[in-house]
Amino acid sequence: MSYLNAQPPEATLLHVFTAYPDTARPLLELHEELLRKPSPFTVAERELMAAYVSGLNDCGYCHGIHTATAEAFGVPEGLLAAALADLDAAPVDPRLKPVLRYLEILTRTPSRLTPQDAEAVRAAGWDDRALHDAVLVGALFNFMNRMVEGLGIAGDPAYAPSAADRLHRHGYTALTTANTGS
């Protein structure tokens, strides 16, 4: 239930973005830059990171939408649930496991990150740009999870597929002009 009195109880982030376009625009541009522009990671991998961080934070709204978006980009169904349950046993690309472990530490206990954690990411074949991009995706979704929870945006789980389809087809900056009814 939305904590914003001017929003309907079932408000989504589209409602918030429409009500506050001056803050939505740069935020969505950052999403577009981090999740859709060139990176060592594929779009699917970055959406997987967004869903993983959101799952760690128990943010059902973001986890649901970004899991469905990651799956729309080719992440196998059930992979996110398996990764959250047991990353070591999950059928995640071995090169991504150290990245997800890094994001888990960044999310749960950021002051405990060490040079060895970064080196594990590099040892998996990623460079500094990849580490940078993963950290920014993780940081963005820690921010978004807190924004969603702080504003009381819960969203019906049935909303995730349509939101994921919109993100898959149009990306993030299109949300600045999206109709909240869609």
* Angle at CA of residue 119, ends 118 and 122, nearest 5°: 95
The answer to pTM > 0.85 is yes
140-169, pLDDT tens digit by residue? 999 999 999 999 998 788 899 999 999 999
CA 37/CA 128 separation, integer angstroms: 17
Question: In the prediction, which pLDDT does 174 show?
Answer: 85
Average pLDDT over residues 121-130: 98
- The phi and psi torsions of 124 (rounded to 5 degrees) equal -80, 0
Q: Which residues of 120-159 are buried (b: 16+ CB within 10 A; e: fewer)?
A: bbeebebeeebbebbbbbbbbbbebbebbbebebbbeeeb
22-172: CATH topology is: AhpD-like (1.20.1290)
pLDDT at 97 over 60: yes
Q: Where are the domains of the chain?
A: 22-172
